Structure 1
Amino acid sequence: MDIYATSFFAFTYGLLTDTILDLNYNLYGYFNEGFDWLGLTAIIMYFPAISFLFLNFYPFNKRAGQKVLYILLWSGFSISFEWLSLQTGFFYYNGWQLWYSAILYPAIFTSLIMNLKLINSFK
């Protein structure tokens, strides 16, 4: 149940971030510029699924080095997926750069872990 709550957090966080950076600043987006139903569908499906998979296999009981490696591997996967999304037209840039995402992905994945730990602290 905790991972589902964090997946909802990921969806909300992603939707808010994408709305601001896409619709307000026009830095990037899904499929077409402006609001797009298909893009919203992608956000609804992508963020919860990735966060669920990431957290479900996170090595909570392992050493710090293994945790860092896990986050870096998921960040690498996310960068690769974003690059592939750019190549296929699923995603586009208007001023955003792939290296911005490379810097942000470890922080995003860390925030998912912190959110899950926060939720677990209320038990």
Structure 2
Amino acid sequence: MLFLLASVVVFNVAALWIPKRLSRLEMWTNILFAAALQLVVDMYLDVKLQLYGYFNKGVDWGFLIAVCGIYPAVGTMFLNYYPLHGSLLKRTGYILGWTVASLLYEFASLKSGYFYYDGWRIWYSAMCYPLLLGLLVWHLRFIRRLKR
């Protein structure tokens, strides 16, 4: 639990401290989109299929600390510096860098005990993170089109 709480503090301080390139509307809509996506994915992979989970099997209130305390801050930091107009190589490298960082954090979460696998493998995450990060980018572009 200490690792999770320390992560919440560090990620949120970092997200608040960085210079913002996103509008408040873009941050808010992407936070809501990411939270909804995370909850749907967890509902199936954690609760229904029981492939992984937070703290204990089944629905656990502790997972809200991770979902509400970490994902909004990390999603905001990811999108804030995403090179929307960069080359394909730069955009791909950025997503791969965040994928590696996410895998390292997931591994640390496993070791700390707030996250567990029960049929899930880390290489599944390695395949999913680029897709999920790409969905965040797609959503940001979608919101910007709607704003125009």
Is the TM-score greater than 0.5? yes
- Cα pair 1:4 1:52 within 8 Å, conserved: no
Residue of structure 2 aligned with 1:81, choices 76, 87, 105: 105
TM-score, structure 2 length as denominator? 0.80
SS in 1 for 2:86: coil
**Structure 2: gaps of 5 or more residues:** 1-24
Cross-structure match for 1:52: 76
Give the percent of matched residue pairs that are identical in Structure 1 and Structure 2. 39
Any runs of at least 4 consecutive aligned residues in structure 1 with deviations exceeding 6 A, and if so which? none
Q: Which amino acid aligns with 2:144?
A: N
C-alpha distance in 1 between matches for 2:120 and 2:56: 15
Does 40-49 or 84-93 show the bigger shift? 40-49
What does 1:28-43 align with in structure 2 at a 5 Å threshold?
28-43=52-67
Residue aligning to 2:10: none
Determine which of 40, 48, 59 is the counterpart of 1:16: 40
TM-score with structure 1 length normalisation? Answer: 0.95
Aligned to 2:53, what secondary structure does the other structure show?
strand
